Amino acid sequence: MQISLIPIYILVFIFSYLGIFLVRIIVSKKNWTTKPRDDRWSGRVVGMHGGIGFVPITLIGILVVYVNQYSGHDKVSGLIAIISEHQHILGLMTGAIIMFFLGWADDVLNLKPGIKLIFQFIAASLVVFTDGGFQLTDFVLLN
């Protein structure tokens, strides 16, 4: 039995909002912020670890939606069907996970720009390689 997607979207939004709210409280108490510097875009104090508030719940929500599509199967065969039939989602989720951990590592270790660029290239290449793009228009260059 498939469930409606609207409640899942609403729950993901609510839990993401609450997650970000909780992360903001923790960041304020622990003073996990970056101070304004000349080599930064922002001229204000910015909190770190923001992705922790929404990325995990968003990825879980995506997984629930796709596993739900194959609810007639047992969960293992449903997951295998998702992987084989929807490689673009797997590529997109893997790229998002790489970017999540890259952002987190950058917050903790203050990575050099070259290292960040390499991992961003890897994440984007995974999405492109698995046909993870979305056709928004009929014009290929805009997609």
- The residues near 143 (Cβ < 8 Å, ≥ 6 apart) are 133, 134, 135, 136, 137
- In this structure, the number of other CB atoms found within 10 A of the CB of residue 21 comes to 10
- What pLDDT was estimated at residue 87? 80
* Percent of the chain's residues with pLDDT above 90: 45
Q: What is the pLDDT of residues 72-121, one digit of tens each?
A: 656 666 666 666 777 877 888 899 999 999 999 999 998 999 999 999 99
| Three-state DSSP class for residue 48 | coil
